[in-house]
Structure 1
Amino acid sequence: MFKFKKSLLFILTSLTLVLLLSGCTKKQPEPISKEGLFLGTFCKITIYDEASRDILEKAFDRIEKIENKMTINKSNSEIINVNSKAGLDYVKVSPDTFYVIKQAKHYSEISSGKFDVSIGPIVKLWNIGTDKARVPSAKEIEDKIPFVDYKNILLNEKENKVMLKKKGMIIDLGAIAKGYAGDEVERVLKENGVEHAIINLGGNILTLGSKPDNKNWRLGVQNPFDSRGQHLGTIEVSDKSVVTSGIYERYIEKDGKRYHHILSPQNGYPVDNSLASVSIISDKSIDGDALSTTTFALGLEDGLKLIDSMENVEAIFVTKDYDIYITPGLKNNFKITNEKFKLKN
């Protein structure tokens, strides 16, 4: 018998950072916000400028359009069309979908397949985060592994066409589409004159500009071993994306064992290493989204090496032993607020 965590806050929000707004004394316009369920998670956009609520409607309309193109959990979408033609033919998709697939394939390549956007057959077996979650048999997993290989995603850039080489393959953009949606919301807000906002797409947080008083936003980094809203430390950012992946976000339990949702493309089981969570700070949320999963799958040593090789990307690695490792750019920024955790580098 297994237990499925069905709490709205636990599964749908996947919040990994909590906004800390203390210290703002100058009177500012009343913020306006809108929230809703999109991309399989809880989304909230808050604007801190004087602005029309029509801007929020435009932002959520953009999220909905992206979801309708990239979901595999509805009756129809561009990704579903691509998957249905696996092994048969190319499918023309929108520039949005083509770009996200291309970026996903890029991260699959630089991680040597530790991140693999074609992991859909394995995701569908486990269904973690849905009411159909279960622990599949070893035979079921073994039968699906041959269909997971990003190298068999064929791209025709001239015509925005995509083909999956083998019948039975499934693309799942769940580890990257939210990031792209966040970047697009930021673009919509900027085009409509917004200068100060927080975009929260199920834990993918983007800070547009600074706070209205021109100070950095202070974000609390979620303690992966404690209840929602309990922090292990804080960082200050402006015009940045912060995305966290961890073993605590979505999981199922069976016979006393916990199975989290970050699955290995190599063996079909949840990634098992020393990490409890990884937070990525980047300019673009599509990068942070993909990299949080990629570095978690790579593990501490290789994950740190990958981030160190990139410009304008920082990371916070939290191990199951309560140790924290950060990249050099956070040395004078990240502050531990929970004494259980120790900074190791």
Structure 2
Amino acid sequence: MKQAFVLALLLISFNTTAQVLRKRTVKLMGSRFDITLVADDSLMAEHAIDTVIAEVTRIENLISDWRPDTQISQVNKNAGIAPVKVDTEVFALTERALHFSKITNGAFDISFAAMDRIWKFDGSMTEMPSPQAVKKSVEKVGYRYIVLDREHSTIFLSRKGMKIGFGALGEGYAADRCRDMMLARGIKAGIVNGSGDMSTWGKQPNGRDWSVGITNPLHKDTVFAIVPLRQSAVVTSGSYEKFVVFNGKRYAHIINPSTGYPATGVSSVTVFGPSAETANGFSTSLMVLGKEAGLKLIKNYPQYSYIMITDDGQIFSSRNLDIKKYSL
């Protein structure tokens, strides 16, 4: 759902200090993870990176919807049949996902996993799908049919053929978990970047803040602002790489799960805040809701700030994020 390319992590040259920075890039959760840690010595940093990789792998083995032996795969296999008992961690993640569905009236929905892929963004589409085909594509989608039993820690998909998936939250959740784990283990600075879902903490070895460069999708080779990150997370959702145009209207690859139609009007949304998981939920939701409804929603959550770029190149940012202050 998201595009990682809008965020360009800026690692400014380091002074010589007692601390060292180590970085490793690996494939986890089917995506690219960039792990950057600052520690007292190289061995400590490398061991910590191993721990991060092990934690992301553990989470993937719980919530992946394409690995057949995970708890979420079992939930999907038992759709319309029986509730499935899951770990408290998986149950809580599902609860938080449903909260996003409720506050967005279905613009965010983990049961999107059952949606028919009738939209093609590879250049092969020559006409709009019929209204009947669009309606049929979301017949098995609907967060209201996800039944949670907190007492027994079970998830039940009440309609046969339903599926849930955490593609929109899982990487952010994993990044947040790893940040908290590293802080608890004395790693005072780092970044866990799961395909654009970034949790950061501490500072670079030279004492400077971590920073991200923000690009305008209409001018992808140009950074127009550099924003510092202080004990923060940042996530971008974007539709600028994959879209189709019919009758002069641009349709993004991010689909509204409640209607089956692609999002329109917004090219990218970057959300900053304390949690990458929550920032991901907001960035995805704002893409689907569009400018007016999306900005109305996020204004109720002052811990989170945003930069939104519309299809016609207009840039909007929250009051608590003065984009002019960071513009180049």
Does the TM-score normalized on the shorter chain lie above 0.5?
A: yes
2:60 counterpart of 1:67: yes
**Which SS does the other structure have where 1:119 is aligned?**
helix
Equivalent residue runs for 1:159-178 within 5 Å: 159-178=152-171
- Residue of structure 2 equivalent to 1:144: 137
- The Cα shift of 1:122 comes to 1.5
Does residue 327 of structure 1 match 2:327? no
Say yes or no: does 1:313 pair with 2:297.
no
Matches within 5 A, 1:256-295: 260-272=252-264, 274-295=265-286
Matches within 5 A, 1:24-173: 24-25=14-15, 27=17, 29-50=19-40, 51-122=44-115, 138=130, 139-173=132-166
Among 231, 241, 255, the alignment partner of 1:239 is 231
In the aligned structure 2, how far is the partner of 1:14 from the partner of 1:128? Answer: 17
CA contact (8 A) 1:126 1:135 kept: no
Classify 1:24/1:56 alpha carbon distance in 2 versus 1 (closer, same or farther; 3 Å).
closer
In 2, the alpha carbon distance for the partners of 1:239 and 1:114 equals 29
Relative distance call for 1:99 and 1:124 in structure 2 (3 A) is farther
Which residue is equivalent to 2:290?
299
What are the ranges of 5 or more consecutive residues in structure 1 without an aligned counterpart? 1-10, 338-345
Name the SS of the counterpart of 2:34 in structure 1. Answer: strand
Task: Determine which of 167, 175, 182 is the counterpart of 1:182.
Answer: 175
CA-to-partner distance for each residue in 1:153-175, whole Å, 9 max, x for gaps? 11111221100111111112111
What amino acid maps onto 1:267 in structure 2? T
- The change in CA–CA distance for 1:314 and 1:195 in structure 2 (over 3 A counts) is same
Mapped to 1, the partners of 2:251 and 2:235 lie a distance apart of 21
CA distance in 1, matches of 2:196, 2:293: 24
Q: TM-score, normalised by structure 2?
A: 0.88
State yes or no: 1:201 paired with 2:194: yes
Shift of 1:41: 1.2
Cα distance in 1 for residues equivalent to 2:74 and 2:99: 22
Identity %: 27
Moved more, 181-190 or 65-74: 65-74
Mapped to 2, the partners of 1:16 and 1:315 lie a distance apart of 13
Structure 2 CA distance for aligned equivalents of residues 326 and 224 of structure 1 = 15
Bigger shift: residues 308-317 or 18-27: 18-27
| CA apart distance, 1:103 | 0.7
Q: Distance in 1 between matches of 2:68 and 2:89?
A: 19
Distance in structure 1 (CA, Å) of the matches to 2:284 and 2:73 = 23
Do 2:63 and 2:72's aligned partners in 1 also have CA atoms closer than 8 Å? yes
Measured after TM superposition, the shift of residue 141 of structure 1 is: 3.6
Match for 1:327: what amino acid?
A: S
Alpha-carbon displacement from aligned partner over 1:185-220 (angstroms, at most 9, x marks no partner): 112211221111111110111211222343322210
With over 3 angstroms needed to count, the CA separation of the structure-2 counterparts of 1:289 and 1:49, relative to structure 1, is same
**Residue 115 of structure 2: SS of its match in structure 1?**
helix
Comparing 262-271 with 101-110, greater Cα deviation is found at 262-271
Counterpart secondary structure, 1:211: coil
Which residue does the alignment assign to 1:343?
none
Amino acid of the residue matched to residue 235 of structure 1? V
Residues 12 and 43 (structure 1), Cα distance of their counterparts in 2 relative to 1, 3 Å cut = farther
* Deviations 1:74-97, CA, capped at 9 Å, x for gaps: 333211111111111110112222
Change (3 A) 1:53 1:89: same
Is the 1:12–1:41 Cα contact (8 Å) retained in structure 2?
no
Contact 1:245/1:277 (<8 A) preserved: yes
Residue 39 of structure 2 aligns to a residue whose secondary structure is: coil
Q: How far, CA to CA, are the matches of 1:155 and 1:261 in structure 2? A: 30
8 A Cα contact 1:275 1:319, kept in partner: yes
Normalised by the length of structure 1, the TM-score is 0.84
After TM superposition, give the deviation of residue 307 of structure 1 in Å.
1.4
Measure, in 2, the Cα distance between the counterparts of 1:90 and 1:134: 42
> Aligned pair 1:16/2:9, yes or no?
no
**Contact 1:12–1:40, Cα closer than 8 Å, also in 2:** no
Residue aligned with 1:172, SS = coil
CA contact (8 A) 2:251 2:263 kept: no
- Whether the 8 Å contact between 2:4 and 2:237 is mirrored in structure 1 is no
How many matched pairs? 322
Would the alpha carbon gap of residues 281 and 12 (structure 1) be closer, same or farther in structure 2, given more than 3 Å must change?
closer
Which amino acid is the alignment partner of residue 100 of structure 1?
L
